[in-house]
Amino acid sequence: MPLQTAETITVGSELTRGQSVDTHSALLARTLGQAGLRVRFQTSVGDRLDEIAEAVRTALGRADLVVVTGGLGPTLDDLSREGIAEATGRALAEDPALWAVIEARFRSFGRVPTENNRRQAFVPQGAVALDNANGTAPGLRLELGDKAVFALPGPPSELKPLLESEVLPWLLKRQGRHARSRSLQCYGLGESAVDQALKDLVPAGDTTSLAMLAHGHHVEIILSALEADPAAADAKVEALEAAVLERLGERIYSLDGRDLAQVVIDLLKEQRLNLATAESCTGGLIASRLTRVPGASEVYDGGVVTYSNSLKELLLEVPPFVLKRAGAVSKDTALAMAVGLARKLDADFSLAVTGIAGPDGGSDEKPVGTVHLALASPSGVKHQRCLFKNSDRAGVQSRAAQAALWMVYCALAEIEIPEEGTDRGGYQAAD
């Protein structure tokens, strides 16, 4: 019988004390969803044996699959092994073969295991150890009739690979299903607008699914298909992708999870062009996003942060009368910044941003959230005016940076952009 429902348990007193935010539960839910399981409850519990055991017992009483993360380390407050043994009534015993594997892993890291590490070789009776190539704590899988329990290490660099290599494949095999998924990135529409545009694509009860994740300045669309036949899963997810592209068209800038800055860098590399930036209200955020991409230096030399008027004059030679007449936040200043940057750095694309991030500095004519973008290139100088409503300072900066990268993307992908920006953000469906 296939597994239908799941419960996840994240273990650690840093969670129940509020010292850490639990990001694992969301990752686990997405992974389990790929195998067609529905998560009923997500539980966090501190490092106490009685409470871990209680959480596992409760979870096994109400879900087919239980996934425990954390609490598999070598220290005395790592108690997930003991909690699972107690909840399932299985004795915990040392597995000598597993201890040999752990010792070898330590040697490969150039370290020597302590006597404490021996605890990591203990497994509940009947459990299978899962090889953890990125750490010393093995994962565990324990089948209990129609149900199953996984125990996985807490560090993300160990958890993620084990989910991919051990949990998802086992689940798909157990379910007799093949999963395919894709992550599309969409610019300029809010979550509810994307939902509205796509909601009839997946009929109720279908084996495909479509989920929206709002990321502040864009919306991620996750397509997935779950089929007995792998070719059918491929075909389903491809058909769904084609349908999404038909509806959202040019607003989809990435079919493989890449960030917009990464997409821009990749297009610049392909077209052997380079970029320079002049930032006022975004204050270095665009430069920072570009330089977070490994290898950005091939196509991005840098730029200037001209936060004050005097630096706009000094570094970009924006004429003082432009600043005086039109104001620092204006089409004329944005154009002058882009042209000044082009003259100074001689890049193929010269991008300039000026705006009002707030909380102060707004007026009726130019409210907080007003941003002017300009892009100078051999094909001319383009301008766009955006208004980012209902955003705080960091939100305006973040959305302005995304809009500016979008402008470069459109130039590279030969997409026309309107003079007035249309970004409605990923979290601003209502404005």
Residue list 28-67, contact with a copy of itself (CB under 8 A): 28-31, 33, 38-46, 51, 54-55, 58, 62
Q: Is 149 in the site for a copy of itself (CB under 8 A)?
A: no
The helix (run of H) or strand (run of E) holding residue 280 is none
Q: Is 90 in the site for a copy of itself (CB under 8 A)?
A: no
Closest approach of a copy of itself to the CB of residue 96, in Å: 28
Q: Is 287 in the site for a copy of itself (CB under 8 A)?
A: yes
* Residues between 151 and 170 that touch a copy of itself (CB under 8 A): none
Pairing of strands 65-69, 92-94: unpaired
Close Cβ partners of 380 (under 8 Å, ≥ 6 residues apart): none
Among 147, 366, 389, 393, binds a copy of itself (CB under 8 A): 393
Close Cβ partners of 48 (under 8 Å, ≥ 6 residues apart): 13, 79
The answer to whether 389 and 423 have CB atoms below 8 angstroms apart is no
Q: Is 69 in the site for a copy of itself (CB under 8 A)?
A: no
How far apart are alpha carbons 216 and 138 in whole angstroms? 37
Q: Is 22 in the site for a copy of itself (CB under 8 A)?
A: yes
Per-residue tokens: 272: 């052997």
Closest approach of a copy of itself to the CB of residue 419, in Å: 27
How many residues make up the chain in this entry? 431
Per-residue tokens: 315: 């570094």
How far apart are alpha carbons 85 and 65 in whole angstroms? 16
* Residues between 296 and 325 that touch a copy of itself (CB under 8 A): 296-297, 300-308, 310-311, 314-315
Among 69, 185, 350, 397, binds a copy of itself (CB under 8 A): 397
Pairing of strands 349-355, 370-377: antiparallel
Among 283, 319, 362, 367, binds a copy of itself (CB under 8 A): 283
Closest approach of a copy of itself to the CB of residue 269, in Å: 15
Among 107, 199, 247, 292, binds a copy of itself (CB under 8 A): 292
How far is CA 135 from each of CA 67, 93, 323, 363, rounded to the nearest angstrom? 19, 21, 58, 56
Closest approach of a copy of itself to the CB of residue 23, in Å: 5
Q: 42 vs 88, which CB is nearer to a copy of itself?
A: 42
* Residues between 115 and 144 that touch a copy of itself (CB under 8 A): none
Burial class (CB in 10 A: 0-12, 13-18, 19+), 228: exposed
Per-residue tokens: 137: 């704590």
Beta-ladder partners of 373? 353, 384
* Residues between 323 and 362 that touch a copy of itself (CB under 8 A): 344-345, 357-360
Q: 50 vs 256, which CB is nearer to a copy of itself?
A: 50
Please give the backbone phi and psi of residue 33, each rounded to the nearest 5 degrees, phi first: -60, -35
Q: 16 vs 134, which CB is nearer to a copy of itself?
A: 16
User: Could you tell me which stretch among 116-124, 233-241, 282-290, 369-377 binds a copy of itself (CB under 8 A)?
Assistant: 282-290
Among 291, 317, 381, 383, binds a copy of itself (CB under 8 A): 291
* Residues between 187 and 246 that touch a copy of itself (CB under 8 A): 211-213
The answer to whether 381 and 370 have CB atoms below 8 angstroms apart is no
Among 208, 277, 377, 428, binds a copy of itself (CB under 8 A): 277
Close Cβ partners of 428 (under 8 Å, ≥ 6 residues apart): 190, 388, 389, 390, 391
